[in-house]
Amino acid sequence: MSAADAPEQGFTGGHDPWAVAMTVTLATFMEVLDTSIANVALPHMAGSLSVSQDESTWVLTSYLVSNAIVLPVSGWFASRFGRKRFYMTCVAIFTASSFLCGIAPSLGALIFFRVLQGLGGGGLGPSEQAILADTFPPQKRGMAFAVYAMAVVVAPAIGPTLGGYITDRFNWRWVFFINVPVGIVSLLLSRRMIVDPPWVTAARRRVGRIDYPGLALVALGLGALEVVLDRGQEDEWFASATITAFAVVAAVTLVTFAAWEWRQEHPVVDVRLFTNRSFAAANFMMVVLGIALFGSTVLLPQYLQVWMGYTAQQAGMVLSPGGVVVILLLPVVGRLVSRHDARWLIAFGFIVISLSMFHMVKTLYPGIDFRTAVELRMWQAAGLAFLFVPINTVVYAGVPPEKNNAVSGIVNLSRNLGGSIGIALVTTLIARRAQFHQANLAAHLDAGSGALLARLAGVARALERAGTSSVDATRQAYAVVYRQLLQQAQTLAYLDALFVLACFTAAMVPLVFLTRRVEGGRFSAH
């Protein structure tokens, strides 16, 4: 089969295409799930390894940095060494390093093994997406990408629940040990089911020499950027000399990298793909999708745990029904993408997720019940289901099949960067706006206010009836009212963060129509 035949027929290597799809989805699901589970287990890691909570966050930062470095260059590695070989190497590295993370005796060792784990995990998603793009013809890619979406959209939803269960019932080390059997099964299946198509094999002969300057620049630039996004809020952003230095390094090296790669005959990252208007717009929409997905996934459980007393597992249960909604809708969206203009589906998805967040701004309050919280998340999930598959369909439209490896690496980087930006944006907004609202609310509290004095007296009487002495009851009443003030300030800050996310997603609706029409998986110039 020639490269020219590839877009119309796909390449299965003699295997059932859905068996290939499920094989490659297994490892990607494992990798994305591991990331969200590790977030929940951080306090347990800190206690077990006798380090502070702040130090333990390097377990996440180290993984994100190495993961971000591999994502954009994964297409080049797959083309140079063979996609099957590269994919299986990534699975092996991820599996082995997961075991090493589980037996790590110290924080330093755990961080080192997490760097290795990130290097292996970074190549899984792009490789799977490229394999699916080559295995299925364009008119069937929608359903194939729906399977992939189950890994990268559903896993973050169920991760907190599973992570809470594992860490509460067993030990944080099992967060990593559970990857080992899954990784071994994935390796065995991949060896049997995956075959590189002829155009991927032919591309190995055209890769050219290793672009060492390009590799060094992208590694340094993305690594520094990830540190800025992950550690910025904790270190007071540009008030910190370290964060400022990393930001300057990221800006200079990434601009230099883009200029360098533009002139290379065999670039490590094909930046010239961004001259394709649909490709550039689709990647920008994927960044915003990452912001909305990860930002909202952090925001709601955090509010429920900090201000409503939910456990990690209970907060995870709020997200899980949303994952079910995504699972049910993705096959429907996959069929729609194969028959209708993907742009209308993307616009509908952004409208739904934006309206759901505007609705949450009007609904979220400290006394919210479990059912309402679940319903709010389900509406968000419905919008997410209409975004991931159509955007991935648009990003491949009009791109030659021999560049599928490069496309998958870049679009996965866009989603991950969006996730890092979303988490940084939400945590910063909540911290800064909570201070603003606290000062504003406190300024309106008059020490002689009848309403305030009545509230303090009421709380004190309730405490006295519970057996507290009158002196202690008065002191504790002030503490109760102060906590209520903090809770109200924090709630207003969360609503501000939700409003910003809603505005981001709403702004994407007109951008959708800057892309070219893609109907039935096929690109149209009209």
- Which of 266, 260, 263, 265 has the alpha carbon at shortest distance from 221? 260
Adjacent-strand bridge partners of 522:
519
Burial 311-325 (b: 16+ CB within 10 A, else e): ebbbbbbbbbbbbeb
* CATH code of the region 6-208+266-436+489-523: 1.20.1250.20
The pLDDT value given to residue 2: 42
Percent of the chain exceeding pLDDT 90 equals: 10
| Digit-coded pLDDT (tens) for 191-216 | 888 887 776 666 666 666 777 888 88
* Chain position carrying tokens 């990434």: 254
| Digit-coded pLDDT (tens) for 357-374 | 999 888 888 878 888 888
Identify whether the C-beta of residue 278 lies closer than 8 Å to the C-beta of residue 392: no
| Digit-coded pLDDT (tens) for 111-153 | 899 989 988 988 888 888 788 877 887 777 777 778 777 777 7
Helix or strand run (H / E) with residue 519: strand 518-519
Q: What is the DSSP letter of 517?
A: P
The pTM for the full model equals 0.78
